[in-house]
Every structure is written in structure tokens, then in C-alpha cells.
Chain A
Amino acid sequence: MRTVANSHLGLRLLNQASLILFAVVLVVFGMLSPAFFQPANAVNILIQSSSTGILAVGMTFVLLTAGVDLSVGAIMFVSAAVGGKLILGGWPFGAVLVVMLGIGVVFGALNALFITRLAIMAFIVTLATRYFGRGLGLRITETRAMNLPESFYELGAARLLGVPVPVLIFAAAVLLAHLTLTRTPLGRQVYAVGADLEAAHKAGINTGAVLFSVYVICGLCAAAAGIVALSQAPAVSPGFGNNREFMAIAAAVLGGTSLFGGRGAVFPGTVLGAVLIQTIENGLNILNVNPYLYPLITSGVIFAAVLLDAVRSRVLARANRRRIFVETDNA
């Protein structure tokens, strides 16, 4: 049987690119430093990547619909700033967490409202909410760093069945997201909307509702990522969450999620991407590389991710172009 996409060996390699890249990074750092392969270091990497990872999980939903959410870092900030105020004001820890997650949902809904109801480009809407969120956060914190009490730190240090809680939260987010995307009608419709918005509309899918959901999910994940970040360093500084949206996008794209929509997965894709980025940083740390070089190396990784995505999309588009005649049995 003649298959179109399958015949491209190159495409298959491209689809496995994140795995290959990951293996290369592991081998290189492993050879350069024996400390890299210590089990304690592996756990460390997982803990460190959980915040970005959760953020990237939410981002994956949005990217799958061919959208983008630039406001997630700002959502982290606002939600952490409000949470910090409340806990310093004596609110119970549990209630604070609920409020923080609620802020994420509200921000996500705000983004979704503008994008679906007013049909404004996601890029512009979320850029606006990004500035709005950062401004609001600075106002709440009065631009001072806010040190938080023990409760967040305890959350970060706690272990359940030997697994650190941040990693557990990350795993839970991944599991939920994975099930949602692969098993629920909403998840499958997210892929349909991302592949072809017009066709999805014609097929009778409520595209507005689908788009609304992904931005709310993304906002919720951003708030959760904020909570996890606080559990590792319990202080809200004015730069909290700044530019994290780009790490999240990079992680998702590195994991094989396409910026053009319709392609990608939370597991293993995005998880791998998030851990990969953290692994690189961790490896550079162990090797004592000049910290000023980190941004250069990170930029290289992001560039590679986007390049891979573009190449993959081009190959796919070429493979799926409608043909007028078929060479094999017509010529």
C-alpha cells in the first residue's frame, strides 16, 4: 500500500529529534563530568524542571490549537504575589493555594474571552495580559521582594513515598493532561481545531469552547507552576516568573509540539523537552561554565527546536499536497 507520510525516513527521524538530542546531551555531559550521572543529580534535575514543566504542559494545549500564550509568566507572578500577601496576612495555606489557582483560571478566561469572542490574535491578546499581569504584580508587591513563611518551603521539601512533592505535582499535571489530550472528546477536538480550524467548524465542533478551554487550562497550569516555583525558593521578587513563557514554549517545541498546531504531545514530548532544558542548565552548572554563557546556549537550544519544527512542517506539507495525477499506474 502506498503511504504518503510514512515513506519519509527523514520525517521519522525528525519526529524522534527530541529523544536523539536528549541522548546526545546525556552522553556529552556524562563524559565531561562523573558527578552528572549521580542519582541525586537526576532527582535534582527533575525537581528543578517541575515548575517549567508544568508551565509547558499548559502551553502544549495552547500550541496544539496553533495559538500561543505569552502571559503565563505574568500569571505566575500575579498569582504568587496575591498568594504571598494572603499568607502573610494569616490566611490558611490550603485556602491560599485555592485562590492562587483561581487567579490562573481567571487570567486564562480573560485571554480566552478576547481571543474567542473578539477574535483578536492570541499573540497580541496575551502580550497585553502579560504587561497587565506584570504591572499588577508589581503594584501588589510594591516592587519589593516578599519573603514567605515556612509553609511553601515545607511543601517543596516534603516527600510522599520517597518522591519529592514538586515532582509529584509535575507528574500529576502530566498524567491529567495526557489523559485529557488522548482520551477525552475535548482532547481530540483540540487536535482537530489545531489541524484545521475551518474544517473543525464545518464538522460541527464548537471551536470557541475548545479554544476557551485551552487558555483556561494554560492559566491554571501557570498558577500551579507558580506554586511549585515558590516551594523551591519561597520569595516573590519583582522578576518572579519573568520570561518563563519562552522557556515553556521552547520546552514544548523541543518535545515535538508544532507551533503550527495539531501536532505534539504532553507525554513524552513536552516532559522530555522540559527535562532536557533543565538538564543542559544543570550540566553547565556542574561543569562550572561561566553563567553569562547560559543565555547563549539556551538560545541555541531554542533555535534548534524551532528549526526542527519548521523543517518538519515543510516536509509534512510537501508530503500532503494534493496531486493531480499519480505517477505509478496512470502514466
Chain B
Amino acid sequence: MIEFSHIEKSFFGVKVLKDVSFAVKPGQTVGIVGENGAGKSTLMNILGGNLRADTGAMRLNGQLYAPDSPREAERAGISSIHQELNLFLNLSIAENIFIRGFPRSRPWLPFVNRREIRERTRGLLREVNLTHSPDTLIERLSAGERQLVEIAKALALDARLIILDEPTTSLTARETERLFAIMARLRERGLSMIYISHTLGHVLKLCDEIVVLRDGAVVANEPTPQFRMDRLVSLMVGREISQLFPPRTARPTEQIVLDVRGVSQPGFVRDIAFQLHRGEILGVSGLMGAGRSELARILFGLDSCATGDIRLDGESIGHLPPGERIQRGLAFLTEDRRAEGLCLEASIADNVTLVAQRQLARGPLGWVDRSKTGVEVRRMREAVQLTPTARDEQPVKTLSGGNQQKVVLAKWLLHEPKVFILDEPTRGIDVGAKYEVYRLIHALAARGAGVLLISSEVEELLGVCDRIMVMGGGGIRETIELREFDRERILRAALHDGVVA
């Protein structure tokens, strides 16, 4: 059906796919597993026409295949169903399926042939076992039903290969069963599928063959019966440590600075309870959609929680808005620094002093003290070792990713937080800048702050933290002490198949 041969791809000089070769035969379901960043998405983006490979080739039924756009891939019979569904909530099922090319009732009239799309949709819905009327709006459907509509959409396009990327993350157990039943039926009809999931139990159950990716290379590609859960995990792990971490000088204290008690929010996190000590760096590991960022948002007050209590230095802050929590010493470096962490058009100085604005104000009118601001900005720039070539007035958007992140750090450091929540602080920045970030985290902890470090890179957590919490399905699955640090144990806890299946 489709054959990958010697696919390579680099981003900014970093190889993310190395000599990837494997094939999917007609009617076969192939599972692809690997850690976050192993290259699964990149490979699927190449197959789906979003990216082009640097070298190597794909063959579709023997023909050379190199799609330039998702549409071209679809025309060739390849449909992708992503984690984030591509449906219009305000339109009906039938309209979503035919939105790109409505059949007309009469060639000379601009009207949609509603009877035809209804009829054809009804047929497609029958194939995916949905009993809804084609006129039902998507927003009336549950997550699982929406997923099935996406599959119906792929069938409408006459797809012969369907890529399913983590299709079960927001489904209930029953909905998952239903999805699998339909996948089995499609396979009987000769459809090929590529199934990507962190839920290894599902992969073992559904797939004929499994491809294991590690650091962009295929480390195993065998029929499913050759694999056991243990072997899969061992294959996925086992990477050399290539990163350097600064030495740790200070040790955490016994004093509790942040006390989280039974925090739950239906649909997002459940029963979160942990204590963060002064001077401690607590890592939060987990797969995508484990609830890590959601927890961070709740702790910082951006989202509310239904039950539970959050205490900062013994004082309950669970009901306070983010601004008040900042005043009390909380800081939050968000996952998406461009959209949420910085004012890109504003200057370095403005960004650095944004949070501490009030401390820098002076006099009865509260005017910003400019000389004091200048001094503080200079002090912070030195602390984070921001590139000396940039002027204070320069807009932040002109800086590199690493320097942008340093500006965000400087902003919060100036405020001298008691608890600093960092969500993926080293994402998309180079190795040198990463080292600087780690150094700053250490310095912060040495000064007595508690640090909550959320990261998808297990190496990073192992190298920087005092303790690691593993999250999954919105809850804490395991907490691992420094002396017990073990990659495999973390990954196993994160995958934790038993609960989900």
C-alpha cells in the first residue's frame, strides 16, 4: 500500500527523522509508538502532505508519492484524523462531510442538493455505526461521536489509508470500544490504517505490525505477536544522555511552600494532592493530554477548580484571581511563550518590568520610576545572561527563541516568586540556552523558591529535579524520589495501560 524508504528530515540542523523505512500492506493496521519527540508526528506530517522529506521517498501502490498539500494526500486516498478534530461545530454532520464540495440540486442553480448529502451521509453514518440524523449539529455530539464523524468524512473521500493519531485520548471506555469495532470492520473491508498511540495496550490489541521509533529512527518493526508490553517500553526508552545539566549546589528544605489538597475539576484534573517545599524542584512528567498544563492553569488561577484547596505559605489562595496570586508570590511561565508569555511587539524593558510594575512605581501619582527601572532591567539582563547586543528598547519579537524565554524568566525573577511554575520552559530553544535556563532554575531554588517544572523531556526532569510526579488521565499516578529516578519507571507510569483500557 504505502512504503517509506530512507526518509530523513531535519529542522534547523537537528535531524528528527533518520533513515526511516517500513511499509504498510493493503488491509493492514500498523501501529507506531515512540516517546514524545520521537518523530511520529513529523513522519505523519510528511505522509499527510504537511511537510516534505529532505531525502528518501514514499511509494503508494508502487507509484512515487510526494504530496504537496493535505488536499493532494487526500486525493491520493490518504486521510488523517488528528487529535484536534477538524469539524465545524455550528454545522450539521452532512454539511461537515461535504463542506469542500457540495453537490448541486441543478447544475444551473446555486443550491445544495440537501437530499443527496443527507442520503449519502446516512449511508456513511451506518458504516461507522452512528444512528444520528445527518442534520444533527456537531456540537450536539460527544467527543467519541465526533471522532466517528471524522472517520465517515474520510470514507466519503474514498480513503484507502487512514492515519489515526491518538484517537482515544478524549473518549470514554465505551466509546473507545465502539471505535475499535468500527476499525475492525474497516480493516475487513481492506482499508489500511496507521494507528499512533501512547496507550500501548490498544496498539498491541489492534495492530498487525508495530513500528517503534526512538530519536527519529526505527528501532523495531515486527509483527505484533513479537512484542510484549515490557519489550515495547524498553525499546522506546534507552536513549543516550546527550544533554548537560549544571551541578546542583543547594538542597531542598523541609518547609512547605505550596500545599495542594484534593484539587479536582471534572473533565480536566482529579484528586491532585502534593506538597512543594522551599528550595525544591518538583518535576511533572506525563504524556500529552495527561492534565499537566491544566493543573498549572488551575494552580495559577486561570481556570477554576470544583473542589480542593491550594495553600501558599499556609494561606489559602484557591479562590483568588491570578493577579492576587502573583502578588502573593506565584509565577507561571506558560507553555506557549509567544502567545501567552510575552508582549511580542513591546520592548525588552517593558516585558521585563511588566509584572513588577507596581514595585517600580513611585510618588503620589504612582509614576513609573524610570531610572530605577533601568537599573532593574540591567540587573535582570545580567542575571539571565540575555544577549548583550540587544537594546532595552528593542521589540521582543526580534529576539531568538532562547532569548525570548530569558526575557520571560527575567520578568518573573524580578518579581522574586516564592513558587515558580514552569511549563515546558526549554521547548524550542537551543542547547546552550537550555543550560542557562537550568542554571536559573537552580539559582531560584537555591534562593528558597519552590519550583514546579512541567516537561515532556524525561531527561530534563531527571537532570534537574529533586522529585518527579508522573501525571496521567488528569491525576497523579506516581511520585518518584531522586534516589529512585528511573526513565523506564517514569514512562511506565505515564503509559499505565491497565487503567485506561
Contact = CB atoms under 8 A, between A and B. Distances in A.
A123 B140 CA distance: 32
Contacts of A183: 111-112, 114
A196 B88 contact: yes
A185 B143 contact: no
A325 B268 CA distance: 7
Nearest to B69: A204
Interface in B476-495: none
Contacts of B143: 322-323, 326
A204 B91 CA distance: 16
A4 B473 contact: no
A118 interface: no
Contact of B172 (A184, A204, A329): A329
Interface in B277-320: 289-291, 294
Interface in B323-356: none
Interface string B122-152: 0000000000000001011111010000000
Interface stretch (A38-46, A103-111, A128-136, A186-194): A186-194
Contacts of A202: 70, 86
B224 interface: no
Contacts of B172: 326, 328-330
A323 B170 contact: yes
B140 A191 contact: no
A324 B294 contact: yes
A324 B140 contact: no
A330 B266 CA distance: 12
A192 B88 contact: yes
B263 to A, nearest CB: 14
Interface string A160-195: 000000000000000000011001111011011011
A28 interface: no
Contacts of A180: 110
A2 B140 CA distance: 9
B102 interface: yes
A288 interface: no
B495 to A, nearest CB: 16
A5 B290 contact: no
A322 B100 contact: no
Contacts of B111: 179, 183-184
A184 B84 CA distance: 28
A199 B88 contact: yes
Most chain A CB neighbours (cut-off 10 Å) among B71, B84, B139: B139
A195 B474 contact: no
B270 interface: yes
A290 interface: no
Contacts of A188: 91, 95, 99, 102, 112
A67 B172 CA distance: 37
A213 to B, nearest CB: 11
A244 interface: no
B283 to A, nearest CB: 20
B91 A326 contact: no
B267 A325 contact: yes
A325 B90 contact: no
A210 B170 CA distance: 33
B302 to A, nearest CB: 13
A192 B138 CA distance: 12
A195 B143 CA distance: 18
B139 A5 contact: yes
A263 B88 CA distance: 11
Contact of A3 (B142, B294, B474): B142
Interface string B87-116: 111110001000110101000001110100
A188 B84 CA distance: 22
B86 A199 contact: yes
A324 B168 CA distance: 10
Contacts of B170: 322-326
Interface in B258-284: 266-270
B174 A324 contact: no
Contacts of B71: 204
B100 A203 contact: yes
A313 to B, nearest CB: 12
A185 B90 CA distance: 15
A30 to B, nearest CB: 35
B133 to A, nearest CB: 12
A306 interface: no
A5 B91 contact: no
A322 B145 CA distance: 14
Given A3-B140, A184-B111, A324-B170, A203 B267 contact: no
Interface in A293-331: 316, 319-331
Contact of A5 (B84, B100, B140): B140
Contacts of B112: 183-185, 188
Nearest to A321: B267
B219 interface: no
Nearest to B268: A324
A4 B142 contact: yes
A214 B474 CA distance: 43
A205 interface: yes
Interface in A191-250: 191-192, 194-196, 199-200, 202-205
A329 B174 CA distance: 8
B173 interface: yes
A9 interface: no
A175 B91 CA distance: 21
A2 B142 contact: yes
A118 B99 CA distance: 26
Nearest to B142: A2
B464 to A, nearest CB: 25
A185 B110 contact: yes
Contacts of A204: 71, 100
A195 B89 contact: yes
A319 B90 CA distance: 13
B424 to A, nearest CB: 17
B140 A195 contact: no
A203 B169 CA distance: 23
A196 B139 CA distance: 14
A210 B137 CA distance: 22
A85 B233 CA distance: 81
A186 B145 CA distance: 27
Given A4-B142, A203-B99, A322-B170, A327 B266 contact: yes
A316 B140 CA distance: 11
Nearest to A202: B86
A328 B143 CA distance: 13
A1 to B, nearest CB: 7
Interface string B154-190: 0000000000000001111110000000000000000
A185 B88 CA distance: 15
Given A188-B99, A320-B139, A324-B291, 6 more contacts: A3-B141, A3-B142, A5-B137, A188-B91, A324-B290, A330-B473
Interface of B: 70-71, 84, 86-91, 95, 99-100, 102, 104, 110-112, 114, 137, 139-143, 145, 169-174, 266-270, 289-291, 294, 473-474
A-B pairs with lowest CB-CB distance, top 7: A323-B267, A185-B102, A204-B100, A5-B139, A326-B172, A324-B474, A184-B110
12 contacts: A2-B142, A4-B140, A5-B140, A183-B114, A186-B110, A195-B91, A199-B87, A262-B88, A320-B139, A324-B170, A325-B473, A328-B172
